[in-house]
Amino acid sequence: MKFRTCENWLFDLDGTLTDPKEGITKSVQYALSRFGIPADDLDVLIPFIGPPLAVTFREEYGFSADDTNRAIAYYREYFTRQGMFENKLLPGIPELLSTLSNQGKRLFVATSKPIVFARQILEHFGLDRYFEQICGSELDGTRSDKTELIASIIQQYGIDPSRTIMVGDREHDIIGAVNNGIAGIGVGYGYGTETELMNAGASYFAPTVMW
């Protein structure tokens, strides 16, 4: 498949369009502190970047369903107050999006992050103007799974999977794409490894933004 000729482009947000490490890890750190769990090294919390929060709190800390819900609520206390803007625009992303937009591509954001936060972040960086629609989860966790989210985008916007690309930095992005019959580009400048992305079924690995 010639990726540049594809009509529809779906982009993950965290680690693909922006680098959210500081804000996400500090929000998790704050949430864990409310449980009396120290997390002084923010690098230990990098696994929280990308996957749905509920999944990572369960997998990394063995939280019950009730504790997971409490942890997410604590996380959002910090994230809403300041964490969402402790974020950096990845170099080359505006140029890439501008190029694709000028070529007449349909661009969508497909993120596990709640829509309400994703919109504010994209507006903050001036990226919202490139996208036909910003698609994400609801605050109750609905559509936080990438397979479910991408299926919803395909149905709602009449997208042909054979003419569509999903761009993301974690295996969840690629698995969601493959499960919907969409080719995936795994990017190497985010938080997933080439091995993780290719094992998940990526059709192509892009080590830098300018691929």
Catalytically annotated residues? 12
> Hey, is 133 helix, strand or coil?
strand
Asked if 31 contacts 81 with a C-beta cutoff of 8 angstroms, the reply is no
> Hey, is 85 helix, strand or coil?
helix
CA distances from 67 to 24, 58, 94, 175 (A): 18, 9, 39, 27
In the chain, what is the straight-line distance between the N-terminal and C-terminal CA atoms, in Å? Answer: 15
Partner residues linked to 164 by β-bridges: 8
